[in-house]
Every structure is written in C-alpha cells, then in structure tokens.
Amino acid sequence: MALAQALEQRAPGRGTRALSPSVSVALPVRDGAPFIADAVRSVLAQTHHDLELVVCDNHSTDETGRLLAAFDDPRLRVVRPPQALPMALSHDFAVRSTTARLVAIMGADDVADPRRIAAQVAALASDPALVLVGCWCETIDEAGRATGGLRYPAERSRVRREALRANPIVLPSMLLRRTAYDAVGGFRDEFGYAFDYDLVLRLLRMGEVANVSEDLLRYRYRTSGSSFRKIKEIQREGFRVRWAALRRDGYGLRDYVWLLQPLLALAVPSAVLRAIAVPYMNFFHGRR
C-alpha cells in the first residue's frame, strides 16, 4: 500500500492540537515493552515543552500498546500502519505522521536528557545551513549501566570530511528539518539496517550536518538488539551505502579507501565482531 494511503488510515491521536508544535518527536517501536515507558517519559519531560510525540506502534505483540495507553498527555499521539513495516519504513511512517517543521528521532529503548530537544533546536536556529543535528551519547546496557560514550565529530566541517569513515550521527539522536527530509526522499528500505547512514549521506547533499557536543541521550546498546545481532549485515549494508555515495556524490578517488573498513569487517567472524564492538566504539568514538 502506498505510504500516502497508509497515513490516511493511521489511528487517531488521543489529543487534538489547534496549532502545530515547534518540534515533533518520531518514535517507532515494535515489541518495546521493557523500555518504552521510560523513553516516552523522557520525551514528555523535555524542557522544550512545545512538542508532540508521535509513536508508531508497528504492530507490537507484547504490552507496548497497553503501556502507551496509560499515558495521559495530549502531546502524545499513537499511530499504527495498516501492516507491519520494515525498520526503515516504520521510521519513515513515524516521521511522515508528524506535523512540525523540525522532527526528532527517538529510540524506544533510549532515554533523552531533559535538555536534549532545547539544545538541538538552538543549534539549528544558530546555523541556517544545518539540515540535521545529532548529539553525543552515553551508552548503557540492558540494566541502564553506563558502558561508555559515543563522541562523533561535532563541527560540521569535520562531519562532512569524515562522513564516509562511519555514520557520524546516532539515529535516535537526530533532529532534522522536515523540508530537507522530504526533499531527499526520507528513510528508505534500500539499505537494510544502514538506512540511517543512507539518509545522512543524502542530507549532506542539501546542507550541513553537525553534533551537539554534550551527552544528551542515553543510548542503549543491547546484546539482544539488532545492531549487535546483525553486526555482519550492518557492515555489508554500510559498504553498499558508501559505494552508492561514492558513485553519486562526486567524491574523489582517495575517498574509496573508506570501503576497506567494512570489507575487512566482513572477513572477521561474527563472534569476534560482536566481542570487540563495544571496545571498538569506545576507542574510536569514545570520550575525548
């Protein structure tokens, strides 16, 4: 079914706002009962109050729906696609269900610092060239214990320079301009689990990308999560994303060296990749 038709069939929200908020937060979830309540509470507790939270319940089979129904806040709206969607398209469905000009992405098992949205909105307001801004993250495990941090490049010049080295933005830390998102076609399902990296590289064709250099998100990196279980597939799709960008976006020959990292990773057994994943992130992207 076409996305436009699907959006027409989304479930109505529990509250109706007379005016569009300044920021929408898109939160896709499927079977997120263990952590969804904490994620929702952290968004509704933002110091930037003028927001809506749009949760795309992607046909959960656990207690997610009941937990969402327990919230009594007119800023929360739950939408459901007519059928279960792949991860990329559930994110796209959530974004296209929002109403604001600025859209933040939130993870169903993550926790936002109360200052997150305010700090990112200020960053976008201070630099009209920015189309996307992320933030630094503290990584946590299933129990909420700190395991490290992700400190991707903050300055937009460095983000652009190193964009092919690795995805410079943590997906649930994104705050983007909706006009730019629509102009590049949004999240798409062409690159599997690397759909967020694909979006970042396409947005760099339209404008600048940066990170707020503060820990504004507690990012749960779980051994049971897809980014851990599907680590080999993510490397394979990361190669494809880089290859597409190299052919499409006018990079120089020397930039092809960035294809070596995913190729080398594909030669390493999955068990080894999983064993070194967190130490690797902390060494290359950790506290500085």
Query: pLDDT tens digits for 32-81?
Result: 999 999 999 999 999 999 999 999 999 999 999 999 999 999 999 999 99
Q: Where are the domains of the chain?
A: 3-224
Q: How many other CB atoms are there within 10 angstroms of residue 165's CB atom? A: 14
CATH topology of domain 3-224: Spore Coat Polysaccharide Biosynthesis Protein SpsA; Chain A (3.90.550)
Question: What is the per-residue pLDDT for 230?
Answer: 75
pTM reported for the whole predicted model: 0.88
Cα distances from 48 to residues 68, 72, 120, 262, in angstroms, run: 21, 18, 10, 39
Predicted confidence (pLDDT) per residue in 165-187, tens digit: 999 999 999 999 999 999 999 99
Question: What is the per-residue pLDDT for 262?
Answer: 86
Three-state DSSP at 154 gives coil
The CA radius of gyration of the chain, in Å to the nearest whole number, is 18
Which stretches in the chain have pLDDT values below 70? 1-18, 222-229, 273-288
Looking up tokens 């109360």, which residue turns up? 114
For residue 218, give the nearest of 31, 41, 23 by alpha carbon. 41
**Cα dihedral across residues 138, 45, 10, 68: positive or negative:** positive
